Structure 1
Amino acid sequence: MQSMTENDLATTDNDLECVQVRKHFGSVRAVDDVSFEIPKGSFFSILGPSGCGKTTLMRMIAGFESPTSGDIRIKGNSVIGTPPNKRNVKMVFQHLALFPMMNVYENIAYGLRCAGVSKEVIRTKVHDVLERISLPDVANREISQLSGGQKQRIAIARCMVLDPDVLLLDEPLGALDLKLREAMKIELKLLQHQFDTTFVYITHDQSEALVMSDNVAIMNQGKFVQIGTPQELYHNPSAAFVAGFVGDTNRWAGKVTRVENGAVEVATEAGLTMRGSVRGTGTPAVGDTVSAFVRPEFISAEKTGASDKPVDPAHNVINGKVDSILFNGANSRVLVRDGAGELIEADVVLTGSTQDLKPKDNVTLSWSPEQTMCFKA
């Protein structure tokens, strides 16, 4: 999915479109020229660090803030100047905002009652949406009697009973404990398929965005840095910020000592020499500063001298000493100090020659140059 121009967007048929949207607070550009489209029935996440502008963007889509310039379209129609209650957009907040003085039925029915819907239609719609979220028997329960996951589903049901074109979710898993949060990632994805409604989800938690989303926008300093599928962002980041923000990675800064056919040789500030592939825009020249990234799962770790098989001479090789091992079942994270004291992370399966790996063991790390992503600084 690519950012679009105003002319492109004029011919599309999407649930949500933003065209060159900006929001300035004095001299602060909270949202700076953001354009994107979301096709019907998509799960779209906006992922970025705190303060990057994602909540401001969502508030503009919902109608709680007005853009300084640009256009926002729901189903192809501009909603600039349309108040929140007149937009067919609903929002689930981080703390859910369920009414504690009302039971489940009354919470879900509230929006329909405000819209003047008859009692018979309300009853049918509420019971239908409770069936769809797999909670058909909780209509008469008090909110205080629900688990965290049930409250989450009721908050979504309260929105979905109104048949919105777009459902906005503002970090709704942030208040849940870790185990429930992991379960709700799957639950939210299943609910989105069940309702076939466009979900727009904002978060600073990359695991949430990568697990649930069809497409993810990486946002930083008010701008979208890259939009793509989770796989594209992870394996083919377009910028150093994306490479460092999405997934775990080792990072080195250094200068280019050689350039050849899209590959570079880099001398790092820590005194290492490694080869890598050029990513992003702009091919670096000899002497240019670059950032080099390699993900822990691409690094092979062996006890030094434990294998008779020589390391591939084309691979990058670093010798070091095990600092610690973070056990995680089948795959564990090994933290290795190189000769300069830099910490390098590698994922290994603790079997064979590595099954009795322990701190202070000497190890040899190696990986393919193709797995080293180099970005011009």
Structure 2
Amino acid sequence: MANDLECRALVKSYGAFTAVNGVSLAVPKGSFFSILGPSGCGKTSLMRMIAGFIEPTAGEILIGGRSMRGVPPNRRPANMVFQHLALFPMMNVADNIGYGLRRRGMAKAEIARRVGAVLERIDLADSGPKRIDQLSGGQKQRVAIARCMVLEPTVLLLDEPLGALDLKLREHMKVELKQLQHQFGTTFVYITHDQSEALVMSDQVAVMNAGRFEQVGTPEDLYYRPATPFVAGFVGDSHRWGGRVTAQAGSDLRVATSAGLALRATAVVPLAEGAAASVFVRPEAIEVRVADGRSDPAPASADVNVFAGRLESLLFNGANSRAMIRLERGDLIGAVLPQNLLGTRLGEGAAVEIRFAAAATLAFPAGGDAP
């Protein structure tokens, strides 16, 4: 499949500071690609280089197979939707959408046809005469996207466009953006610090940290098969232990944590006996059981970690309620609590057991800039 966007060893330096450090990516035609990372990781600098607002210090950008070296922003087959949508309040919806076409000198009849067609596709067919202040937040988002899509770009760049919306509207717009991308068939490149946005909408996600890509893969790859401690800690929730490998057989490890827990874990990269390790497990991988009175429960099998503790607090959130459990060794660990344990069966202070599989307990070399 052809790539609509390629970046080859891109570097952007500001004096002694390097914001983007040797980033390469390839975005297939018609896909939704997200760049996910914390504030200051370099993702905005990368996006602005792609858009043409800043020049790379080194490297090359290709859009539609053509080098963008020396091509100004208004000549690139890419358009950008910003967090602050920059819609023109003095223009109605139709005039906002047709603004770029008028700048290109297109005939009025053709502008009207193309604006009408794109209004139909964003489900605002009767809203052309409306003022911008008559629209809801979600409708304004659609108009901002339509203003770009009417220009038929090869790539649409989106710079955290949902950041200014309230939570409920943001959740709705995540689904709507993905549907719009599928409907138009245009390649979307989306930057965000919100992992939920990236996981829900994207075909592929690049996790960025300190100017570099830590991992590029599907949302499932990043969540279930993180390649680095940073990705394991940044994408989704995880509990993390520091410790040392006490036994190793292939990828099967025994790790003694600093708090004195003996963990069965799976090495993501090879770890030798005696090596310092960082170990991660996700809350939903932890099973909570009401304790049966044993003070030192035995594992159900050699592939399962089992520990005793007490329920310290319940964080009710409907289907995703969380139990905070204090283990006998002192660790406080969170687990997703099944509905059948809510209420009278399990109260604060109750004795519990937690169980989680060694296959879901991922071990990395210590360090690695885990967040």
Q: TM-score, normalised by structure 2?
A: 0.95
Q: How many residues align?
A: 363
Please state whether the residue corresponding to 1:247 is helix, strand or coil.
Answer: coil
The answer (yes or no) to whether the contact 1:263–1:277 under 8 Å persists in 2 is yes
Residue type at the aligned position of 1:349: P
Q: In the alignment, residue 81 of structure 2 is paired with which amino acid?
A: V
Task: State the secondary structure of the residue aligned to 2:189.
Answer: strand
Deviation of residue 331 (structure 1)? 3.6
Change (3 A) 1:355 1:124: farther
> Which of 226, 235, 241 is the matching residue for 2:230?
241
1:119-138 maps to which residues of 2 (within 5 A)? 119-138=108-127
> 1:200: which partner in 2?
189
- The residue type paired with residue 195 of structure 2 is Q
SS at match of 1:351: helix
What is the aligned partner in structure 1 of residue 369 from structure 2?
none
SS in 2 for 1:216: strand
Q: What is the distance in 2 between the residues matched to 1:198 and 1:178?
A: 26
Name the SS for the 1:149 alignment partner.
helix
The aligned runs of 1:195-274 (5 Å cut-off) are 195-274=184-263
Percent identity, aligned pairs only, is 57
CA drift at 1:353: 8.7
Q: Distance in 2 between matches of 1:365 and 1:376?
A: 25
How far apart are residue 343 of structure 1 and its match? 1.4
Output the CA distance in 2 between the equivalents of 1:76 and 1:371.
41
Deviations 1:50-80 (A, max 9, x none): 0000000000000001000000000111001
* Correspondence for 1:313: 301
Which range moved further: 178-187 or 263-272?
263-272
Alignment of 1:159 with 2:148, yes or no, is yes
Q: Distance in 2 between matches of 1:218 and 1:168?
A: 17
Residues of 2 paired with 1:129 and 1:136: CA distance? 8
Distance 1:158 1:353, change over 3 A: closer
Cα gap change, 1:180 to 1:52, in 2 (>3 Å): same
Contact 1:302/1:354 (<8 A) preserved: no
Superposed CA deviations along residues 297-355 of structure 1, whole A, max 9, x for unmatched, are 11111111179x97513211121111111122234211111124321011121316986
Q: Distance in 2 between matches of 1:132 and 1:103?
A: 18
Q: d(CA) in 1 for partners of 2:148 and 2:107? A: 18
Q: Are 1:323 and 2:295 counterparts?
A: no
Residue in structure 2 matching 1:335, options 321, 324, 328 = 324
Q: Give the corresponding residue for 1:300.
A: 287
Q: Which runs of 5 or more residues in structure 1 are unaligned?
A: 1-11
Cα displacement (A) at 1:198 = 0.2
Judging changes above 3 Å, is the alpha-carbon distance between structure 1 residues 255 and 310 closer, same or farther for their aligned structure 2 residues? Answer: closer
CA RMSD, aligned part only? 1.5
Q: Say whether 1:30 aligns with 2:30.
A: no
Q: Determine the C-alpha separation between the residues in 1 that align with 2:77 and 2:314.
A: 51
1:90 corresponding residue in structure 2: 79
Alignment of 1:45-64 (within 5 A): 45-64=34-53
5+ long unaligned stretches in structure 2 = 367-371
Q: Distance in 1 between matches of 2:94 and 2:343?
A: 57
| Kept after mapping to 1: 8 A contact 2:299/2:305 | no
